[in-house]
Structure 1
Amino acid sequence: MRKIVFYGAISLDGFLADEQDNLQWLFDTDLAGVSTYEAFDKDVDTVVMGRVTYEETKKILGDENLFPGKEKIIFSRTEKEELEEGRYVSGDTVTILEELQKQAGDSIWIVGGGGLFTELVMADMIDEFWIQIAPVLLGKGKRLFEEGKYRKRLEFVETTQMGELTELHFRKITANKSNTR
């Protein structure tokens, strides 16, 4: 079964985007030096995100191809048309991701969408978390971890410094590991 992973950045105060869904604060962050992205990217062939995350990222990238060579699944309650670089889906997030997991392929990357992410965390479907923390305070916006019923302990893997970002890598504790503790 394919892994579901989250790889993304948040502000120091826990926001994915500001109040206007803007992500420019992230693109203004110095990312010089070590990066885990290239190694992470090699193990991913499907990218999943919400419509707002997709639209905001496209605004910043302009004509540049978003996640080239990867299948793009965009959750939307309103959009239905076909995309050149992906497809819109709607429906139960957990059911759709369970079906994707059964298909042949590499890891499934949850890029963004706080609500989408929260549903998957509550269903205990995120296998690994790579969270980069930027030295930015936004004060308000869209949180990565929305309120929900998902109290869990994760296994620490490593910390990596990437320019101004500090990356925390965790993975879900499997039943075998939690039984031995």
Structure 2
Amino acid sequence: MRKQRKLVLLIATSLDGYIATKDDSLDWLFKVEGEGDNGISEFYETVDTILMGRKTYDWIITHMTEEFPYKNKECYVFSRQENEDTEDVKFIKEDIIDFTNKLKNEEGKNIWIVGGGDLLHSFIKEKLVDEFIITIAPTIIGEGVPLFKEDEYQLELYLKGTRCFNQFVELHYKRRR
């Protein structure tokens, strides 16, 4: 029997649980001293598919002046608007749950949820996220875009491991089945 692909969240958050400031800035994150690439290249080898929301995609296009960072991966951007696919991404307007379940049942490596608080919220409510790798920065920003939105849901996780990358602490959880 073929093993189902995992949907994995790898994301950085402030100590008080925000993934960006109210104006979508990540400046606070880049001020923290890490170690190498904080384990990202090791993780990157375990995935072949990237999922993100439209706001995350727009942030990447606006703030990353070099080439698109996920060129060698299948990259899907969920959007409510009509968009034309590019060389690097396919825009998805269909139901995210159905689309993601189809992806999870295809052959391949793991699937990385790069970002989008709204997108992540939908995945969590539907219990689609299999693993959570959360890197905590020793910064308190007070308000902003929360990692987890308030709602009627509950997930039970278990700790798979922890690692430190200088000032960052990585927590790796798996969802209990």
Same fold (TM over 0.5): yes
1:101 paired residue number: 104
Equivalent residue letter for 1:54: Y
Q: Does 2:156 align with 1:141? A: no
State the identity %.
36
Task: Describe the SS at the equivalent of 2:134.
Answer: strand
Give deviations 1:95-127, integer Å, cap 9, x for gaps: 111111122211010011111111111111111
2:51 paired residue number: 48
Equivalent residues in 2 for 1:19-98 (5 A)?
A: 19-32=22-35, 35-98=38-101
| Aligned mates of 1:31, 1:132 — CA distance in 2 | 11
2:171 paired residue number: 168
Q: Is the 8 A contact 1:48 1:73 kept in 2?
A: yes
User: Which of 112, 116, 122 is equivalent to 2:119?
Assistant: 116
For structure 1, list consecutive stretches of 5 or more residues without a partner in the other structure.
175-181
| Aligned mates of 2:107, 2:19 — CA distance in 1 | 30
The count of aligned residue pairs is: 174
Equivalent residue letter for 2:174: R
When normalised by structure 2's length, the TM-score is 0.91
Q: Is the 8 A contact 1:23 1:57 kept in 2?
A: no
Q: Is the 8 A contact 1:10 1:132 kept in 2?
A: yes
CA RMSD, Structure 1 to Structure 2 (Å): 1.6
For structure 2, list consecutive stretches of 5 or more residues without a partner in the other structure.
none
